[in-house]
Structure 1
Amino acid sequence: MKKIYLSFITVLLVALTAVSCQQDDELKGNVGYLRIEVGTNAYVDTRSVPEDYNPKQIALQILNSSNEVVEETDDWQELKGQQLHLTPGTYTIKASSNGFDGSESGFDIPYYAGSQQVTIESGKEKTANITCTLANVKVTVNYDESFQKFASATTTVTSELEDVAALDFTMGKELKPGYFPVGNLNVTVKVTNQAGQSNQKTTEITEVKARKHYILNFKVAESDSINKPTVTIDGEEITYTFQFNVSTEATTQLEAASANAWSNFAYVEGSVLSAESELEPTAMRFEYKTADADEWTTVTAANEGGNYKATLTALTPATTYVYRMVYEKGEENYVSDEVSFTTEAATPLPNGNLDDWYMSGKTWYPVTENDYNVSGSFWDSSNPATTTGAGALVNKNPTQGNSTTVHTSGGQSAELKSQYAGAFGIGKFAAASLYTGKFNSLVGTNGAKIDFGQSFVSRPTALHGWFHYTSGKIDYRGGNTPEGLGEMGTDDLCSIYVALSKKQKQVDNTKTETFLDLENDADIIAYGQLADAEAVTTNGWKEFTLNFKYKTLDPQDSYYLIIVFSSSKYGDYFTGSTNSVMYVDDLELVYGEPVTE
């Protein structure tokens, strides 16, 4: 292997004692002499970046033991042949390329630096040698002959240090060495073949050190692509060899993208990466099957401006499938790589029939005793506001189980009774509520904080259930109720709404700005609510289905399911009727294709 040795600059500093009795007498024997000479053993081919930068020009500083500069120059030659008078003591001589500190990236801008400590003693001769070595990092890029068949190739080297510019090494242009300050590097190579197909790969180079020369070689693999480059270390040279299994020629290639899988269906799409001839869109299709099946199921691919899409239906929840994009017309037959996906679970709603109730202390919760003690309740209500803390004086549970008014025989429903909750002359109107989430805390005697939403792993498309509502005339109206809502003497309304959020949402009903805005809140990705026309006296049980209207169909990192029932719609404003009663029963989540806005 041809060796490339690191250039270095040697700074020779010679400290001489006095050479004549006349000088000793003149300086009273309390001084030494420093003679400076600089020599180089290699020529540095450089381009001036900055314009006046020349790595061969060595700047010097001489510092005493107090780190004070006693002598300095931008060019050592200004001190050449001179004798410097120094008081005996310890000095540090620093040498480096003048006009640049190595903190930026650029082509052909090596930065050299070195230092040496020397002790000047009266009557003695000292010699100090400083070797200025490469203090930044050198990177070169080479493209193998096999790479020349690509239409284009560019390697971008980026430092992980802040404010350091990336450098591009483009095939077909002069490939000069690049230099970076010491820090980890990211190497991204992007190639485009003659058919216009692009491919790229990024690799991180860690434990980067000064003086190292990183050589990046790229070539086309003869077989399967290698995920990681091979690395060869030879002294200061570290060679990375990258291989890509990407065709340099014009071929026909199809690509199936990642699937957007829901519980019982999946959105799939694909595209034509390259084609030797024009393809007939009607001959394109998708095929899918469970991961362990032998036979494929076919679905037509719809062409949307060159992007092919389809919806795979009747899938099984929590099941792994594979799919591929296929083109077949006459003797032309092309198939993409297979893409795997797993459908979401069709997660049932915990205690959806509302049969389970447990009293902890003075508070009723819709949960079994075991679940309450192990994981807590998925559901909560306004009960803690009137049974705990200052509310314990009231000792009322506006929301509790009811075994008399039920949708189906046996079991229980949730009974929500709006009422005035007060004691000793202190109290407020309390709308009964039932929601997924957690009662957080009281806000003095003025209200409460509620955390709406429970972590969920699926995307439901509707909430189905039954409610029974008797509306009273509004007899309490909070002072912060917006004009035109909940006027005294008008009919009260119940409320049902659902949402799927990216995170849990906290409402403080003493601060109206915290109230949920289902339509405009960026965290809410889907929502639905009962229309006011339906939120009136039902004269018995009434079936309802609330669709989740999705703002986006893209999968998210996390989901929180929000379901809220209230016997008085404007209860957050402490407005409603003490004669309003709502029963809720037999709730279930529906999974299917979503409704969009």
Structure 2
Amino acid sequence: MKKIYLSLMILLALMSVVSCQQEDWESNVGYLRIEVGTNAYVDTKAIPENYNPQQIAVQIVDSKGEVVESTDDWETLKGTQLRLAPGQYTVNASSNGFDGSESGFDVPYYAGSQQITVETGKEVTANITCTLANVKVTVNYDESFQKFASATTIVSSALEGVAALDFVMGSELKPGYFPVGDLTVTVNVTNQAGEQHSQSTSIADVKARKHYILNFKVADAGSIEKPTISINGEEIIFTFTFDVSTEASTQLEAQPANAWSNFAYLEGGVASSEGEIDPAAMRFEYKTADAEEWQTCSATYESESQKYTATLTELTPATEYNYRLVYEKDGSAYASDIVTFTTEDAQTLPNGNMDNWYKSGKTWYPVSESDYSANGGSFWDSSNPGTTTGAGALVNKNPTQGNSTIVHTAGGQSAELKSQYASAFGIGKFAAASLYTGKFNSLVGTNGAKIDFGQKFTARPIGLHGWFHYTNGKIDYRGNNTPEGVAEIGSDDLCSIYMAIAKAPHQLDNTNLSTFFDLENDENIIAYGELPDAEAVSTNGEWKEFTITLKYKDITPKDKYYLIIVCSSSKYGDYFTGSTGSTMYIDDLELVYGQPTTAQE
């Protein structure tokens, strides 16, 4: 190990010489002469400009702990005499300008000390050897290691606040120095195939003056093992052996599946290849998690993205599956790691047949009494709370309620939505009847209401199927905020049915136009669809079947979804516009599941 030896020749002489010196003896004063001899063996090629470990500072401390003499460079005392009173002293010597408490490259720290006793009339000599007081670490990468695309060894200290040092293969590998404390060595390698491997090793019982040499090489066989350790004096050599291929090998990878209720999108690719890959020999295999046999699905190769994709159909909702990407040709066979996914539950629409109705106080809700009690409310709500509770109780009307006469399925009920003018004490508003998934929030004075649209859902349907029966009248009320050019007085009223999948509930305040739905541009909306105006007209006393197809703006899985369905007997009812002669019936609603239509299609 390289060391620096500084011999501090401290000569204390009480000599019978000239008369002036005799007077000093009588005054109980002695002389100290400092001679520094060095035997330095240090690599100084890249020592930082502001720090020179060979510049030795000296302090002389008396028995009371007071510094009686000091210098940043012992050379300033060379050839001089120091007078000291008899007594005990400690002479400290160390590298000037650094205390060794931080890590860094090319920053060795040397220190040493010795106690001496100065006696009148006697000569004393103290020899101090300054040795390495921090810890030296060097990293070497064997020639075999150079075949890796990259390698970095990170050495970190267990001492708080001490920075880790990175030894990067291919750069100048300077020695690193750390204060005394346990170390952790982490090596990260990337081979020519882009595969990454890592290993961490702890070095305990670290001592000053030790030189820890970390050698890395590639093994001929075996696996990544703990390093072998050899000790040669102050040198402790750790040899790390990696059995990791430096070359590219054929490896496949499968991505997390985008699983819906009855189908799933699969995606995979070639992470690395040692030869040419024939896309025609690639396939996906899948099975339920508890099955033994794999089923096969062909893989489509996308040359631009170099990905393999497939769509698994006819899957079972709420079921766990495994899948993998497989390649097999000319005796060579490779498979990716297995990826597990669970299909979404094909959740049904609560009370979609509209058969159940429950009256709480003055307000009708489309829910059974038991479900209302169990769930603390209804999955569906309407404009009824606005006309039967609070200030609306003066009106005491339920624009939306069950009807057992006009029904699509005999023996049940439908939802009747009847637009009307509601007034009390000379104050009135046009009220379009509504039915929606969500909750009526509160009235906004006498001008409107706040409504929370959306109920938490566990699946992504692709549409809504059902039946409606609509009689429309001529528009006889038109709110001041109604957009120009639509819903003019005397024109035919329209009904409305629309649906959306959202990332969060949507609160509408119909006194604030900025809160109105913008299904196509609202970032909260994942998918949307609505009944076209051409179909939202009178059904001439008949039931009309409809299907609303959702357009998905985003098909990537989310943590949660909210289902929004809104029906209204007057399309522009949010603007207090419509006809008091419009009545709509809704029945037998059900969600449609399958592969989605995207907004780009």
> TM > 0.5 between the two?
yes
Which position in structure 1 is the counterpart of 2:27?
none
- CA 1:521–1:165 in structure 2 vs 1: closer, same or farther (change >3 Å)? farther
Q: Which moved more, 1:168-177 or 1:508-517?
A: 168-177
Which position in structure 1 is the counterpart of 2:593?
591
Which position in structure 2 is the counterpart of 1:560?
562
Q: For 2:282, which of 281, 284, 302 is the aligned residue?
A: 284
- Report if aligned partners of 1:47, 1:108 keep a CA contact under 8 Å in 2: no
- CA 1:99–1:459 in structure 2 vs 1: closer, same or farther (change >3 Å)? farther
SS at 1:391's partner residue? helix
Structure 1 gap segments, 5+ residues each = 6-41, 60-74, 82-95, 113-132, 206-210, 233-238
SS at 1:384's partner residue? helix
Displacement after TM superposition at 1:347 (Å): 0.9
Displacement after TM superposition at 1:388 (Å): 1.2
Which position in structure 2 is the counterpart of 1:355?
355
SS at 1:543's partner residue? strand
- CA 1:308–1:405 in structure 2 vs 1: closer, same or farther (change >3 Å)? same
Which position in structure 1 is the counterpart of 2:405?
404
- CA 1:395–1:332 in structure 2 vs 1: closer, same or farther (change >3 Å)? same
Which position in structure 1 is the counterpart of 2:418?
417
Structure 2 gap segments, 5+ residues each = 4-39, 58-70, 78-94, 111-131, 203-207, 230-236
SS at 2:571's partner residue? coil
- Report if aligned partners of 1:53, 1:100 keep a CA contact under 8 Å in 2: no
Which position in structure 1 is the counterpart of 2:259?
261
Structure-2 separation of matches of 1:47 and 1:380: 81
Which position in structure 2 is the counterpart of 1:340?
340
- Report if aligned partners of 2:530, 2:548 keep a CA contact under 8 Å in 1: yes
1:278 maps to amino acid = E
Kindly report which structure 2 residues correspond to 1:438-457, keeping only aligned pairs within 5 A, or say none: 438-457=439-458
| 1:380 maps onto 2:377 in alignment | no
- Report if aligned partners of 2:48, 2:106 keep a CA contact under 8 Å in 1: no
Displacement after TM superposition at 1:108 (Å): 5.8
- Report if aligned partners of 2:436, 2:565 keep a CA contact under 8 Å in 1: yes
- Report if aligned partners of 1:453, 1:505 keep a CA contact under 8 Å in 2: yes
| 1:251 maps onto 2:253 in alignment | no
- CA 1:217–1:565 in structure 2 vs 1: closer, same or farther (change >3 Å)? farther
Kindly report which structure 2 residues correspond to 1:325-336, keeping only aligned pairs within 5 A, or say none: 325-336=325-336
- CA 1:364–1:283 in structure 2 vs 1: closer, same or farther (change >3 Å)? same
SS at 2:534's partner residue? helix
- Report if aligned partners of 1:47, 1:109 keep a CA contact under 8 Å in 2: no
1:345-369 CA distances to partner (integer Å, 9 max, x unpaired)? 1111111111111111111111122
SS at 1:518's partner residue? coil
Which position in structure 2 is the counterpart of 1:394?
395
| 1:496 maps onto 2:497 in alignment | yes
- Report if aligned partners of 2:109, 2:133 keep a CA contact under 8 Å in 1: yes
- CA 1:50–1:565 in structure 2 vs 1: closer, same or farther (change >3 Å)? farther
1:183-202 CA distances to partner (integer Å, 9 max, x unpaired)? xx9999754323x2333669
- CA 1:436–1:275 in structure 2 vs 1: closer, same or farther (change >3 Å)? same
Structure-2 separation of matches of 1:192 and 1:249: 10
TM-score, scaled to structure 2: 0.70
2:264 maps to amino acid = A
- Report if aligned partners of 1:52, 1:99 keep a CA contact under 8 Å in 2: no
- Report if aligned partners of 2:301, 2:307 keep a CA contact under 8 Å in 1: yes
- CA 1:275–1:589 in structure 2 vs 1: closer, same or farther (change >3 Å)? same
1:306-328 CA distances to partner (integer Å, 9 max, x unpaired)? 21111111111111111111122
- CA 1:546–1:180 in structure 2 vs 1: closer, same or farther (change >3 Å)? farther
- Report if aligned partners of 1:399, 1:416 keep a CA contact under 8 Å in 2: yes
- CA 1:493–1:276 in structure 2 vs 1: closer, same or farther (change >3 Å)? same
- CA 1:150–1:415 in structure 2 vs 1: closer, same or farther (change >3 Å)? same
2:282 maps to amino acid = M
2:349 maps to amino acid = L
Which position in structure 2 is the counterpart of 1:528?
529
- CA 1:47–1:368 in structure 2 vs 1: closer, same or farther (change >3 Å)? farther
Q: Count residues with an aligned counterpart.
A: 503
1:263-294 CA distances to partner (integer Å, 9 max, x unpaired)? 11111111112222211111111111112222
Q: For 2:196, which of 192, 199, 203 is the aligned residue?
A: 199
Q: For 2:168, which of 159, 167, 170 is the aligned residue?
A: 170
Q: For 2:551, which of 542, 546, 549 is the aligned residue?
A: 549
- CA 1:316–1:242 in structure 2 vs 1: closer, same or farther (change >3 Å)? farther
1:534 maps to amino acid = E
- CA 1:156–1:100 in structure 2 vs 1: closer, same or farther (change >3 Å)? same
TM-score, scaled to structure 1: 0.70
Structure-2 separation of matches of 1:134 and 1:335: 54
SS at 1:534's partner residue? coil
Structure-1 separation of matches of 2:366 and 2:139: 66
Which position in structure 2 is the counterpart of 1:312?
312
- CA 1:512–1:324 in structure 2 vs 1: closer, same or farther (change >3 Å)? same
- CA 1:332–1:487 in structure 2 vs 1: closer, same or farther (change >3 Å)? same
- Report if aligned partners of 1:495, 1:565 keep a CA contact under 8 Å in 2: yes
Which position in structure 2 is the counterpart of 1:512?
513
Displacement after TM superposition at 1:248 (Å): 2.6
2:285 maps to amino acid = E
Structure-2 separation of matches of 1:497 and 1:417: 18
Structure-2 separation of matches of 1:336 and 1:248: 20
- Report if aligned partners of 2:100, 2:133 keep a CA contact under 8 Å in 1: no
Structure-2 separation of matches of 1:389 and 1:243: 78
- Report if aligned partners of 2:288, 2:320 keep a CA contact under 8 Å in 1: yes
Which position in structure 2 is the counterpart of 1:273?
271
Displacement after TM superposition at 1:102 (Å): 9.8
SS at 1:370's partner residue? helix
- CA 1:495–1:247 in structure 2 vs 1: closer, same or farther (change >3 Å)? farther
Which position in structure 1 is the counterpart of 2:22?
none
SS at 1:449's partner residue? strand
SS at 1:533's partner residue? coil
1:330-384 CA distances to partner (integer Å, 9 max, x unpaired)? 2222222221111111111111111111111111111122221222311111111
Structure-2 separation of matches of 1:264 and 1:506: 31
SS at 1:352's partner residue? coil
1:586 maps to amino acid = D
Structure-2 separation of matches of 1:374 and 1:385: 24
- Report if aligned partners of 1:58, 1:98 keep a CA contact under 8 Å in 2: no
- CA 1:224–1:407 in structure 2 vs 1: closer, same or farther (change >3 Å)? farther
1:463-511 CA distances to partner (integer Å, 9 max, x unpaired)? 1111111111111111111111211111111111111111111111111
Structure-2 separation of matches of 1:333 and 1:345: 35
Structure-2 separation of matches of 1:564 and 1:214: 72
- CA 1:342–1:172 in structure 2 vs 1: closer, same or farther (change >3 Å)? same
Kindly report which structure 2 residues correspond to 1:72-83, keeping only aligned pairs within 5 A, or say none: none
1:554 maps to amino acid = T
Displacement after TM superposition at 1:224 (Å): 7.9
Which position in structure 2 is the counterpart of 1:370?
370
- Report if aligned partners of 2:499, 2:566 keep a CA contact under 8 Å in 1: yes
Instruction: Say which one has the larger Rg.
Output: 2
Structure-1 separation of matches of 2:217 and 2:453: 56
SS at 1:373's partner residue? helix
Structure-2 separation of matches of 1:395 and 1:476: 20
- Report if aligned partners of 2:189, 2:198 keep a CA contact under 8 Å in 1: no
Structure-2 separation of matches of 1:505 and 1:58: 73
SS at 2:584's partner residue? strand
